[in-house]
Amino acid sequence: MDQAIVAPAAATRSIATRPVARPQAALSPVGLPPVAAPPMSSSSRSVAAGTIPPQPPQRQQTARRFGTGVLVAGLAALGAAGIYRLIEKPPRTVPEHQKPPQYRAAARRLNIAAAVLSSSVLADSGLEHFRGAFHNPAMYLAPTVAAVTLVNSLHMAVAPEQCRLGRSLLAAIASATGLTGFGFHTYNLVKREGGIDLSNLFYGAPLGAPWAITLAGLAGLTASRLVAGDGQERPGRLCGRPAGPLLAWGTAVGLIGTAAEAALLHFRGAFHDPFMFVPVSLPPMAAIALAGAAIKPELIGWAKPLVQATAAMGVAGAGFHAYGVSRNMGGFYNWSQNLLNGPPLPAPPSFTGVALAGLAAIKLMETSKSMAAPELMAAS
């Protein structure tokens, strides 16, 4: 017992003078050789326990470099088209006493459709890309092009007869932006774990979203083509075919695609509200009716009310989504979080924009039918 007792002073001196040994091996199971511990670096000794040591800077990824190039090229093309649009000489205006061709009304509806679609893209891409922290520089291009397309479409709607090359170039850039965005969104899904599966389709970049700005650009280009000839008194032609049926087929495809995007996201929400079935049922019926009217003009009477109901549904859908945002914790008082995580407010008006293009197609087909009737009577 006496040998085991050590004086406090001696114990203190022995601890103070004893060198602190760094751990050289970690504990290992019995019978196995000890595992050597990794050497301690100067940076790790200066970091507090439980924190991550500073990591070396990573190289810029190829996707970001490519996105930077796309952003620069897109802004350059947009700026060049915008400058050309400003310095372009105004076209010859139609005299007031001359009645404008009937298809000017269809061109105006197409421009309004492009304005609605571009405003939806401006708000939707701005919110969603902000939620994604704009981690790819190309994400700045979509809201920028959508804003320019909105201004261009509104001007074309006010004066559709003044559509010239500059405005058509801006519409073409909008269409190309949507196609490029579809490529980026596809890459976002492919690089995820599991690739293109149902989970990634639910929570990854939406494949159908970039097509909205493409449809807006195509609507603007179609409107420009319709008013290309000021002296014509009949509906214009697209790709050598009558514009009405061709536009009806394009609108039908757009309605089917928009309904498919809504079906995917409403399925993710388990269709908890019965009204969530309306965007996946009414637009396909309107698309089928439009396609039928393109084949048989006698079906226009069936297609028109369905397309009008689809346009009204887009406005009502924004109200339902606003109600969904208000049901989240904090409602609109917590708008900075609920607008990002709740139902997207700008999404339903896309149906309205596409439906307005369908109404323009119906207007063209009605004009063709009314102008063909006197010719048939004269021939008989």
Q: State the Cα–Cα distance between residues 118 and 147, nearest whole angstrom.
A: 7
pLDDT of residue 33: 54
3 state DSSP class of 52: coil
- Amino acid, single-letter form, for residue 181: G
pLDDT of residue 372: 53
Q: State the Cα–Cα distance between residues 208 and 206, nearest whole angstrom.
A: 6
3 state DSSP class of 97: coil
Residue 191 shares a structural domain with residue 247: no
Phi then psi for residue 258, to 5 deg, are: -65, -40
Please say which residue of 207, 234, 261 terminates a domain: 234
Please say which residue of 214, 234, 254 terminates a domain: 234
Both structure tokens of 4? 């085991």
- 275: domain range? 242-371
Query: Which tens digits make up the pLDDT trace of 93-120?
Result: 554 444 455 677 888 899 999 999 999 9
Q: Is residue 19 part of a domain?
A: no
Residue 316 shares a structural domain with residue 366: yes
User: Which residue bears the tokens 């409602």?
Assistant: 331
pLDDT of residue 102: 63
> CB within 8 A of 100, min separation 6: which ones?
94, 161
CA angle 275, 280, 281 (to 5 degrees): 85
pLDDT of residue 183: 93
CATH number, domain with residue 179: 1.20.120
Number of domains within the chain? 2
Alpha helices in 191-299, H assignment, sequence order: 198-203, 211-226, 243-268, 282-295
pTM of the complete model: 0.77
Residue 208 shares a structural domain with residue 119: yes
pLDDT of residue 15: 44
Please say which residue of 199, 217, 234 terminates a domain: 234
Intervals of the chain under pLDDT 50: 1-28, 41-45, 47-57, 59, 95-99, 230-235, 373, 375-380
pLDDT of residue 13: 44
E strand segments, 105-147? none
Where is 335: in which H helix or E strand? helix 335-341
Both structure tokens of 261? 């995007």
CA dihedral sign, ordered 122, 127, 128, 134: positive
Residue 260 shares a structural domain with residue 230: no
Residue 197 shares a structural domain with residue 315: no
pLDDT of residue 28: 47
E strand segments, 111-231? none
**Residues 315, 351: contact at Cβ < 8 Å?**
no
Residue 225 shares a structural domain with residue 269: no
pLDDT of residue 42: 45
User: Which residue bears the tokens 């006010």?
Assistant: 158
Residue 269 shares a structural domain with residue 221: no
Q: Is residue 46 part of a domain?
A: no
Q: Is residue 170 part of a domain?
A: yes
Query: Which tens digits make up the pLDDT trace of 290-300?
Result: 999 999 888 89
Residue 157 shares a structural domain with residue 214: yes
Residue 122 shares a structural domain with residue 209: yes
Other residues' Cβ atoms within 10 Å of the Cβ of residue 61: 11
pLDDT of residue 88: 79
Name residue 238's beta-bridge partners: 241
What radius of gyration, in Å, describes the C-alpha atoms of the chain? 31
3-state DSSP: the chain helix, strand, coil percent, rounded to 5?
70, 0, 30
Residue 110 shares a structural domain with residue 195: yes
Cα–Cα nearest to 105, from 372, 380, 370: 370
Q: State the Cα–Cα distance between residues 292 and 298, nearest whole angstrom.
A: 9
